Structure formats: structure tokens, C-alpha cells
Structure 1
Amino acid sequence: MMDETQLYNALNKYFGFTKFRDGQLATVKALLTGHNTLAVLPTGGGKSLLYQLPAYLLPGAVLVVSPLISLMQDQVDRLHRNGEKRVLMLSGRGQGPAWQLQLRRLAGAKFIFASPELLANPAVIRALQAIRLSLLTIDEAHCISQWGPDFRPEYLLLKQLRQQLDTPLTLLLTATATPRVRQDILAKVGLAANEVTVVRRSVNRPNLFLAVQELANDGDKRAALLKLVTRLPGAGIIYFASRRLATDMAEWLRENSSLKVAAYHAGMSPADRFRVQQQFMDEQLQLVCATSAFGMGIDKANIRFVVHYHLPTNLEGYVQEIGRAGRDGKQSVAVMLYCPGDEQLARQLTQVDFPSAERFNRVQAGKLPVQALGENYELFDFYRQHHYQYAQLKNIFKQRRRQADWQLRQVQAYLTLTTCRRRFILDYFGESAIEQTHCCDIDEPTWLTAPLLPLRQAVEAAPRPVHWDKQLRNLLNLA
């Protein structure tokens, strides 16, 4: 085990940094002493270094499980820019000469990136078993709990994968996880709580001003959005629950303002998504109208505001998304726009049409094609192929339905608060309340109409000050 001086020297040697961010040193120490580790560090906390530095200090390769191609590509590009060539991102359909070449190249890789779906491929597992693997990293580990049952069930195979790879040292990374989600993550990857070192830092972002605007109808909501984005300085993200509306609103904002706006969602081609992301990072775009597909891996320090046009389905996702604002520590804003009835759309997004027992059993017996299971047939076919019985499957989805309903009720409670929004979020994540005044619209109800010089004075006098830069002194002065 290296001492701290050696770790700081390694940090400087490989990355050019002289200091660790909060939580990084504790996580690296835990890994280098052989402890499986769950690191819950805030968005923008430098989580990629947590597996990259140990990779250079441990023999063998690091396997990084990641949910999105764009997120993996971003990490690959960063490693390449730092001069690291031993990087491989598994991609493709698992067949053909190019695929076989990827598998052969595993032996020479230091960093291997792959999605859970590709890691369910037996050929990939055999190739990984043939190399020395020093660390298994599961990035965005909350997806194990959030997505596993009813969206990307391959996350449920990570426990089996870990066993097939001879239980390597494991690092789980996330920015948001309630106590229940932390327990669920460990259970689903087959780790007992006493086998894991937990490094956790607060989800609180004291430089984010939190607000909710309730509007009477969608016309008023559009007008409120236009007012916000044309008067807030700097770059921003607007989140939508619908791909179509993200595209339509980007066009509408271009027509009704002088802002440089583009849409981003999973229905766009990879080339178009990459172009929009790069333009946003390079300051060629001021505003992105996006679905939740945009954000993971977006390390842009000067995003000044995040607006949710539709309700998020849970507070975990909401905190992840607003955490993309103000990474430079400067004053930024998170606004949720709400019309009565919006919760119905959020509820629909978490519902899965479940096939009847008769239909499921007829597909199981080969009397109907798998497409007969409905719009989500691939999801149900996954469980069918992994020998789940109908009653067992129905119970899984029933539990997931209850969890999703509870999470949405917490979002609704956040909307109607009469006490501090920040305190509510911290309590949700099992954290103690902190003393911070004038941090949300509850104790600063004139935030939409009055200059917030009193806010600045109050925050500067608080125990945990928020630093305002000159450009943003009137950030919230929307009069």
C-alpha cells in the first residue's frame, strides 16, 4: 500500500493534479488496500479518476461498465487526450471480423469499456476470463436499482458476471443514492454490506438556487420558459419527457428568441448527438432542449441553469440532472415548471403494459412469437430466456410499480412544499439538514421579480457561503 505522499506523487505524475477532490483520496485508498468500494460523490466530483488512478497502480486491466455509448466515448476520448492508447470500447453486434478483432485486443488493453448488454455475451465473458482483471468498475451504479427491473434488465446479470470473472475488486460509482438504493445496489451485485467500504459525500450543491413555478396551462408554461431562458445569462439545459417536444421546443425557441438552441435525444443519430454535444461544450450553443439521454458525462463547468419542463419521475434523477449546473461553484439556478396534471405524464413513463398469463405461457410454449408479449416484448423475453416464471415476474414488476409510485409522490411533495426545498432533498437522501438561508423560492418568494441583492448579502454571511461572480450578480433578477 502506498502512503499518501506516494499517492499525491502518482496523482501529479499521471494527471498533473496536486490535490484530490473531496472523497477521491478515501476511495483510492480503499481500493488499493483491496476493499470493494461504493463511492457516492456529487455530480462533477471527478469520479473517473477513481478508477483511472488505481488502474496505473494495479497490475492488469480495468473493466468499466457504463450505461451509455456517449458516456463511454467521452471517457475514451479523455484518456486518448491524456496520451493513453491502451483503451478499448467494446461495440457492435457481437459478430463478424471486426468483433473478433476487438476480443483479441482485450489482452493488450488497460481500460475496457462496455455496456451491460455486451457483457451478457458469452464470447465477451470468455475473453475477459482469459486476461488479468484488476478492477471491475460499475459507473452510474444507481442504474442497477433504477433501470434493472423494467428498462435494461441486463443490469441484473452483473452479479453473475462478477462471479464469472472470479469476483474481482469492485468499485461502484454514483452521484445519487438514497439509503434504500445503496442497499439495493449491493444486493443486486452480490456484495454484503460488511464487504464494502462506502465513501459518501453530500448531494448538497449550495450554489444552486432551487425553485418551482406553477402555471395554469401549457401556454403559460411556454411563456414562462421563454422568459426564463432569455433573461438568464450563460448556458442552460431544458429537460423534457418527450423526444418530440424537445425537438419542437428547440425550434420554437429559435423562432422566438435570438438564442442558439438545439435538441438532443436518443432518437437522433449518433453523429447528430455527438455534434450537438460538442457544440454545447464549445460554446457554439447556449441552450439544449433534451431528454434524460443528455447529461451523463457532460462535464461543462459553466452551465448556469437547468429547467425541467416536465416533472422528473424521481428525485434521484432530478438531483443528477440539476447537478450539471454550476460545477464551477458559481451561482446557478434549478427551476421546475409545473402545470396541474403534469404528474399523469410522469406516471405514464414509469408504467409497463404487462402481458396476460395466458399470452406469456403461449409464448413460452412456442405457440406465439415473442412479439405477442406487446410493445415491451424484448424486456419480457429477457426474463423468459432467463427462466423466470410468470408469477415471479409479476411480483418483480408489482414491487417496481410500488417503488415508482412512491418516488413520484416524493416529487409531488417537493412541488408543494412550504418549507425549505434544500432541506427536503437532503432529508430524502438521508442527510442532516444544514443552515442555509435564501437558497430556494420558499424563503425568497420574490426571486422572479426582484433583484436579489439581499440574497447575496444573506448567503455571504451564512456559514456555507455561495460565491457569486461579477457576471452573475443579477442572475436571478428576472424583472
Structure 2
Amino acid sequence: MELESLLKKHFNYHSFKHGQKEVITSILSGSHTMAMLPTGTGKSLCYQLPAYLLEGQVLIVSPLLSLMQDQVEQLIIRGEKRVVALNSFLDKNERTQIFSRLDQYKFIFISPEMLSIDFVVHKLKQLNIALFVVDEAHCISQWGYDFRPDYMKLGTVREKLGNPLTLALTATATKEVVSDIIQSLNLEMWNEFIYSVDRPNISIRVESLESVVDKQKKLIELVSTLQGPGIIYFSSRRLAEEMVELLRGSGVQKVMAYHGGLDQESRILIQQQFLNGQLDFICATSAFGMGINKENVRFVIHYHMPLQLESYLQEIGRAGRDGKESIAILLYIAGDEQLPYQLAESELPNVKQIELCFKWILNCPDNLSNIADFEAELRILARLTDIQWRMIRDYLQSLNANELNLTKYMNEFKLFVEQRLNIKRDKINEITRWTNSIQCRREKILNYFDEQKKMDIRNCCDICGMDMQSFYKKENEAHSIDFQFHWKDYLQAMLTK
């Protein structure tokens, strides 16, 4: 059967987007594949369609629980019932039931942390893994902007699973990061598909403002006048919620906040209301949008500066997936970069936290061999966040308990953390320079990814000149029909699947 016929049968699409067919053909030929496709291209199709032609299970490693859940839900909505997510959301009974019939699933989504559990790997080894998928593969690289220590172990996990056919996917990776991904996964032969990160239909604009009050007024003005739907990104959960109230008080309706502090039911409800047109605007943290397939988002506004150009591209890429003209606007006040610096520092353990953990090991060296059992004690002692704990735990587990030189190891780990912090600072410096540059914003982004701007684009960016009237609501704009969406029935179906 032709790929187009399968595409219509399983996904009701008539044609492939740029790069999809090439990647799928590579996989079906039995070749390991590294693919960098621009945001909005539909990377998930690159493993979902081949799954129907491959005998066995497709194992998808995903870094975010919210992304994992979104993709599971989308497959279920399309009618695919053989799908499951293995993550920390599962209670003991759910986990037992799932592992007892793991071979009955076609799509198995899993967090990289779950793959560090011997029991989980043992169960997966009993399956016929037809395709091993690493989503958001830039998380593998220690030079990447979103490095995750557990991703570095995927090469070893892959070997334990018998070196299955592998697909690595990302939307944003420099040449250095792509090389690191290939090396870490231990791929000897592979096909590489690297496409431009550019999204020509998304106009890019930076609005420089004088004060927080000016920024709030500008946000209200933009949300009130721009064609929607739209997403507004914040670095703070609290501020996302506060701005929802401010927008409502200014007459903007159909707006909600979305962030990791919401319970699962609320997140599902808000996502579905946005997808189905009951909400026009979302004030969100970066967790929102990954895996959500809403094609008609007309604008993305950043209230806070992202930590790097890579995540900026990921987030603005949620606009204009239908190929129509859309706009990305960053609101900037001089000094805004201080918040990203603070966030970057808070993600990593500081010197005091590191020293407290190593002092504890010095007093309890026998506990090093099962350090994960003392998570609660160490996290309270050093006041560690989830990310800080995982980084310290992974390093401690890598130590040789028979040749402990704690001072040496502690200094090595401090150096590693300092290197990570310097990488994050360099990324923040890069996006700060980009924000203050007078060079074409699109060209600067392309240059960062070793690309060249090859064509003139109408409404390219604020530096090149753009007609904002293209993005404003039309006076005679028709009101969308607010059809009845039975969210209670949807929630019940999703949560009892």
C-alpha cells in the first residue's frame, strides 16, 4: 500500500508535510534515522505511521509528562486504543495491570527516568521493539540547551534492548548537538535529515518598553486587537494567573491560565477547550503547547524572555501550523534578562547544596550503593528540587564505591555544574544580543543554526519592516460558532481509559 493511502486511512491527511515522507521512508528501509524538522511539521507522524507497517512495539522516549499525555490522548481520539504512557502518574495497581499486558500495546510512551529502573528494562526486553524513538533528542547533548542526564543513558538502554531500529527527533539542534546525539545513541550507520528551522509564515517582532506597567498595557492592547487564537508565555505560574485576571478585567474573555501546578483534569479540560474554540487565549508556562495540534494559532506573545533561542523557536512554532500568516512578539524591558539568569541558576545545585550532600556521604559511605533509597532525606537536608536531585543522584550513582576520593569527586561535580551554568549563561547572552540587535531577526536566528537567509519574506520582522495591520482583527470579522463541546463526557472517557 502506498504511504499516501496509509496516511489517509489512519490519519485522514491527503499529503505529507515537508520532510515527513523522507524520514518515514528511511525508517521503513530499516535505517537508523536522525531527523531535525521545523516546529509544526508533525514529527510524531514520522513514527506513528511506520508503526502500522512494522511488526512489534514502538517505544517512544519523551522528556515531559504533559507532552507524553498529549500524544497519548491524540492517538486515542484518532481511535488507536493500543497506547499507554509509563510515567510517575501511574499508581501501583495501574502499573501492575499495564506491565501484565505490555505486549498488547502498539505505542509505549516512556520517560527517560523510567528506563533507569531495572524491572522496567527487563519487561521491555521481553517485547519485540520494532522502533526505538527518542523525542526531543537535543536533551541528550550536554551542549544542548535542555540537557537531561537520564537522556545520556539511552545509548546503554538501547543496547540492553538489542539495538533496535532507532529514530531521533528534534526541532532545534546545532551541528554540535546533532553530532552529540548520534554519538550518545551509539549509532554506527544512519540516515540524517536536517531541514531549516525557518518558519517563513511567522513574522517576528520585539516590542521594547519602558516599565512593567507599559508591558502590561501593551499585552492587553495586543490581545484585544490581534487576530486570535493566541498563546502568551510566562516564566512564572503566579504571573500567568494574575494576567488572566487583568485581561478579564479589561474585557478580554475566553482566557485561562495553564501551568504545571494545575491538576491533570484541569490541564486536560483547558487543552480541549482551547483546541475546540471555547477558549481563545492561553496564559501559559513553557509546558503548554508541546504535542498540542492546533493549526490556527495566529499569535504567540512572550511576556518574559526565554532562556535561549532554541526554546524561543519551539514556542513561537506553535503559531501558524496551518501555513497561514502569524506573528510572534517578544515584550522586552531593559534588564528582563535577569530573570532567566535566576531561573538558570535555580535549576542547578549550588555549592552549598553539593557540599551538604557530599558531607552526608562522608558520614554514611555505605549508603552510596543505594543512594536512591535516601532521596527524601537528602532532598530535605539540601533543599533540592526534582531537577537538582536527579543531577546529584546520577553523579553519585556513577561513582566507584571502592575507590572513594570524595574531595576529588566533589570538585569534579562542582566543575561540571559550573560548566552547565556557563552554557546556560551563554544561551541567555545570545538571546539578549538578539533582542537588542538591529540586524534582521530571522537572519540572526538562521545564522545561529549555521543557516543563511535565502529569500525575502513579506512581514519578515520589525527590523526589516512589517505591516501590523495584517495581524489585527478585521472590523467585519465573523464570529466563530461556539458549538457544544461535552467536556464532562470527554474527561470521563479520558480518565477511565
CA contact (8 A) 2:141 2:147 kept: no
8 Å contact 1:28–1:50 — kept in the other structure? Answer: yes
TM-score by length of 1: 0.87
**In 1, Cα distance between equivalents of 2:33 and 2:411:** 35
Note if 1:10 corresponds to 2:6.
yes
Aligned to 1:78: 74
In the alignment, structure 1 segments of 5+ residues that lack a partner are 453-467, 475-479
Query: Do the aligned partners of 1:353 and 1:374 also contact (CA within 8 Å) in 2?
Result: no
> 1:428 maps to what in 2?
448
Matched, 1:244 2:255: no
Q: Secondary structure at the match of 1:365?
A: helix
Is the contact between residue 226 and residue 472 of structure 2 (CA under 8 Å) also seen in structure 1? no
Task: Provide closer, same or farther for how the CA distance between residues 250 and 366 of structure 1 changes in structure 2, counting only shifts above 3 A.
Answer: farther
- The residue that corresponds to 2:200 in the other structure is 206
* Aligned pairs, number: 450
Map of 1:378-397 to 2, 5 A cutoff? 378-379=389-390, 380-387=392-399, 389-397=409-417
Q: Which residue of 2 aligns with 1:153?
A: 149
Q: Which residue pairs with 2:171 in the alignment?
A: 175
Q: Is the 8 A contact 1:92 1:99 kept in 2?
A: no
Q: Is the 8 A contact 2:259 2:285 kept in 1?
A: yes
Which stretch shifts more, 6-15 or 166-175? Answer: 6-15
Runs of 4+ in 1 over 6 A off after TM superposition: 146-151
Summarize deviations over 1:273-306 as a string: whole Å, max 9, x none.
1111111111111111111011101211111110
- Tell me how far apart the structure 2 counterparts of residues 223 and 418 of structure 1 sit (CA, whole Å): 25
Match of 1:163 among 148, 159, 180: 159
Given that residues 27 and 39 in structure 1 are in contact (C-alpha distance below 8 angstroms), is that contact kept between their aligned partners in structure 2? yes
Structure 1 residues 316-331: aligned runs within 5 Å: 316-331=310-325
Partner of 2:84: 88
Pairwise CA distance, 1:152: 4.4
Superposed counterparts of 1:16-415, under 5 Å: 16-92=12-88, 96-145=92-141, 152-191=148-187, 195-351=189-345, 352-356=348-352, 358-367=355-364, 369-371=377-379, 372-376=381-385, 378-379=389-390, 380-387=392-399, 389-415=409-435
Tell me by how many angstroms 1:470 deviates.
10
Structure 1 residues 366 and 30, CA, compared in 2 at 3 Å: closer, same or farther?
A: farther
1:335 is displaced (CA, Å) by: 0.5
Distance 1:470 1:328, change over 3 A: farther
Query: How many angstroms apart in 2 are the aligned matches of 1:146 and 1:248?
Result: 35
One-letter amino acid of the structure 1 residue matched with residue 397 of structure 2: Q
Distance 1:321 1:67 in 2: 16
Match for residue 437 of structure 2? 417
More moved, 226-235 vs 390-399: 390-399
Offset of residue 432 of structure 1: 1.9
| Compared CA separation, residues 125 and 420, structure 1 to 2 (3 A) | same
Distance in 2, matches of 1:253 and 1:282, equals 21
Distance change in 2, residues 1:94/1:238 (3 Å): closer
CA contact 1:66–1:115 (8 Å) conserved in 2 = yes
Deviates more, 1:125-134 or 1:68-77: 68-77
Report how far residue 150 of structure 1 moved.
8.1
Query: Structure 1 residues 19, 151: CA separation in 2 closer, same or farther (over 3 Å shift)?
Result: closer
Identity rate, percent: 44
2:450 is the alignment partner of 1:444: no
Structure 1 contact 148–155 (Cα < 8 Å) conserved: no
Is the 8 Å Cα contact of residues 86 and 111 (structure 1) preserved in structure 2?
yes
Match of 1:462 in 2: none
Residue identity matched to 2:138: H
1:463 maps to which residue?
A: none
Give 3-state SS (helix, strand or coil) of 2:304's partner.
Answer: coil
Deviation at residue 469 of structure 1 after TM alignment: 12
Amino acid at match of 1:244: R
- In 1: Cα distance, 2:427 partner to 2:254 partner: 35
More displaced 10-residue stretch of structure 1: 141-150 or 32-41: 141-150
CA contact (8 A) 2:139 2:147 kept: no
In the TM superposition, what is the alpha-carbon distance from 1:366 to its structure 2 partner?
Answer: 4.3
* Residues 285/370 of structure 1: CA separation in 2 closer, same or farther (3 Å cut): same
**Counterpart-to-counterpart distance in 1, 2:158 and 2:117:** 14
Distance 1:406 1:317 in 2: 14
Contact 2:145 2:310 in 1 (8 A): no
CA contact (8 A) 2:144 2:173 kept: no
Q: TM-score, normalised by structure 2?
A: 0.84
The one-letter code of the counterpart of 2:356 is: R
Segment drifting more, 129-138 vs 72-81: 72-81
Secondary structure of the residue aligned to 1:134 is strand
Deviation (angstroms), 1:74: 2.5
Q: Name the CA distance, whole Å, in 1 between partners of 2:472 and 2:5.
A: 33
Runs of 5+ in structure 2 lacking a partner? 365-373, 401-408, 478-497
Aligned partners of 1:30 and 1:197 also within 8 Å: yes
Equivalent pair of 2:303/2:330 in contact (CA under 8 Å) = yes
